[in-house]
Amino acid sequence: MPEGGSPMLGESDAAGRNEAPTAVLAEERLPGDRDEKDEEKVNGDSGGAVLEQAGEVEFVHPEGGWGWVVMLAAMWCNGSVFGIQNAFGILFLSLLREFGSEEDDDLRFKTAWVGSLSMGMIFFCSPIVSVFTDILGCRITAVGGAAVGLVGLLASSFVTSLGPLYFTYGIVFACGCSFAYQPSLVILGHYFKKRLGLVNGIVTAGSSAFTITLPFALSHLLDKVGLHNTMRVLCILMFVLMLAGLTYKPLMPVKSSNTPTGRRCPPISKIFNINIWKSLGYRIWAFGIPAALYGYFVPYVHLMKHVEERFGQDASKEVLLMCIGITSGVGRLIFGRAADYVNGVNKVYLQVTSFFVIGIMSMMIPLCHIFGGLIAVCLLMGLFDGCFISIMAPIAFELVGAEDVSQAIGFLLGLMSVPMTVGPPIAGFLRDRLGSYNEAFYLAGIPPIFGGALLCLIPWVEARRKRREKEEAISRDPDVTEKMIEHEKMADNGKAQEAAQSRTRESTL
């Protein structure tokens, strides 16, 4: 998140009810000298405040308090949404037995599209979700999305043929998950700045925890109560997700959307935010990551079949999935925390490293002729997969600021839906044409390396932009250097006061 985080747009559920808390960081005054603007107010009991310095507004993040509850709620969101999606392989076999036979190739193809459609819709809907998040706020969007997901999953438990599942599970349930998921990333920026990387790592680790444990629970439930009742049990996760969304209390001040005529109507620039596309660094990031993902997910989809062909049907391929899941969770915690110590957009270099490692590991898969080698490859792939995922939100905050981050994340996820859908089928096509997965894995390693190399341009572009803005400011106002020095002194005083308040809160705790 940029230094001196800017206000977040789109929390209209707080506008009009909770006025933006304000405090003035003034020069030294004698005891008893007080102004109305000197009073410091806190938004609710969450600890957030806004410092007004020489006409500039700077939001002070509470770095904890109610934010820890929000973090746990967001962690539940990531776990329940992607835990259910990643466990579709378990439901897949049960669907085949319910509606036909496991040996029916045509039915296998049709049933596989239910899960693919569901995962694709979560990311495809993200740009639309970002607009709703800006207009309605994180809380309303998340709770409404969880409610829609609950309805879709519950309806799926009553279908008696495969056709309706495309709508109830592949569209309704997936769209609800998309609306519930994205606000969980945005709301964290209201409560954390210095610890944002660590918090994002913990939140995204929720999906790893659910992905490891949920398949075992689903297997037990399917054996005991059957497919339809198992889906009804999963509805409990979505109901808890609705309650979790209620904790998303916005803190950042809201910009007024009143028109000159006094009518409260969001301007078109707020509905479709074009400010994010004015940043060259964001444009490179938004197109570089999808370019890398054309080969990124190929090993996750086709590795199991490759293991069967090379090591036989009895190979313990489930161990590989567990290795990826465990190290991915560890990587999200480690690199999420490490991102807090990397300044500004230099966090991009962590994603560059993750793409390089995953690309090389994809090329290493065909060269592994012993099962232990594959385990080592999967451990590294999972570790750096966690690195890539955990720092997506912190980089978005750095590139566009908190004011525009919702749509910045939304459009990125929407662009990611294309390579996630197209890449694995292309690898499957190559397997059918060439007779093995070797060439598919070799080619799958190229896009991550290319995308990572493209992302290396971002720190250089951002440094040049800041240097150009500074030169333009100096040319417009010769006294700007003196003003910048004075502003930096005031900012240092504000940081010192913030640190003192943080130490006071910690000692109180």
What 3 state SS string does 456-477 have?
Answer: CHHHHHHHHHHHHHHHHHHHHC
Q: Are residues 306 and 440 in the same domain?
A: yes
- By the 8 A CB rule, do 400 and 282 touch? yes
Q: For residue 99, what are the CA distances in angstroms to 31, 118, 171, 227? A: 79, 19, 20, 11
Q: Are residues 173 and 286 in the same domain?
A: no
**Residue 489 forms part of a structural domain:** yes
Query: What pLDDT does residue 271 have?
Result: 67
Full pLDDT tens readout for the chain, 509 residues: 333 333 333 333 433 434 333 333 333 343 334 343 333 343 434 455 555 444 445 656 667 778 788 889 888 988 888 888 877 767 777 787 777 665 666 676 677 778 777 877 888 888 888 888 878 888 899 999 999 999 999 998 888 888 888 898 888 998 999 899 888 878 887 787 777 777 877 887 777 788 778 877 888 888 888 888 888 998 999 999 999 889 888 776 655 444 444 445 556 655 666 777 877 888 888 888 888 888 877 777 677 777 777 877 777 766 777 788 788 888 888 887 788 788 877 888 988 999 999 899 988 888 888 888 888 988 888 888 888 887 887 888 888 877 777 778 878 888 888 887 777 777 777 777 777 778 888 888 898 999 889 988 888 888 888 888 777 777 776 555 555 555 555 555 555 555 555 444 444 43
DSSP tag of 27: P
**Residue 362 forms part of a structural domain:** yes
Q: Are residues 279 and 339 in the same domain?
A: yes
Alpha carbon distance 276, 259 (integer Å): 22
**Residue 37 forms part of a structural domain:** no
- By the 8 A CB rule, do 445 and 295 touch? yes
The domain that contains 302 carries what CATH number? 1.20.1250.20
Q: Are residues 448 and 488 in the same domain?
A: no
**Residue 398 forms part of a structural domain:** yes
Q: Structurally, how many domains does the chain consist of?
A: 3
Domain boundary among the residues 257, 283, 309 is at 257
Task: For CA atoms 126, 127, 128, 129, give the dihedral sign.
Answer: positive
Residue 421 is which amino acid? T
Q: Are residues 88 and 172 in the same domain?
A: yes
Q: Are residues 312 and 447 in the same domain?
A: yes
Name the CA radius of gyration of the chain, rounded.
Answer: 25
Query: What pLDDT does residue 146 have?
Result: 92
Domain boundary among the residues 201, 232, 257 is at 257
Q: Are residues 384 and 434 in the same domain?
A: yes
Alpha carbon distance 179, 185 (integer Å): 11
**Residue 34 forms part of a structural domain:** no
Q: Are residues 322 and 402 in the same domain?
A: yes
Q: Are residues 220 and 124 in the same domain?
A: yes
Q: State pTM to two decimals.
A: 0.66
**Residue 179 forms part of a structural domain:** yes
> SS3 of 354, please?
helix
Alpha carbon distance 372, 368 (integer Å): 8
Query: What pLDDT does residue 58 have?
Result: 61
Q: For residue 341, what are the CA distances in angstroms to 5, 195, 350? A: 17, 9, 12
Burial (CB count within 10 angstroms: exposed 0-12, middle 13-18, buried 19+), residue 322? middle
**Residue 159 forms part of a structural domain:** yes
- First CA to last CA across the chain, in angstroms? 26
- By the 8 A CB rule, do 336 and 462 touch? no
Q: Are residues 214 and 248 in the same domain?
A: yes
Q: Which token pair is 267? A: 């301007």
Alpha carbon distance 448, 379 (integer Å): 18
Helices (H) and strands (E) in the chain, counts: 21, 3
Query: What pLDDT does residue 108 have?
Result: 67
Query: What pLDDT does residue 27 have?
Result: 35
With CA atoms as reference, report the closest residue to 68 among 49, 47, 41. 47
Range of the domain at 496: 462-503
Query: What pLDDT does residue 57 have?
Result: 54
Q: Are residues 427 and 489 in the same domain?
A: no
Q: Are residues 67 and 206 in the same domain?
A: yes
**Residue 174 forms part of a structural domain:** yes
Domain boundary among the residues 437, 455, 473 is at 455
> SS3 of 37, please?
helix
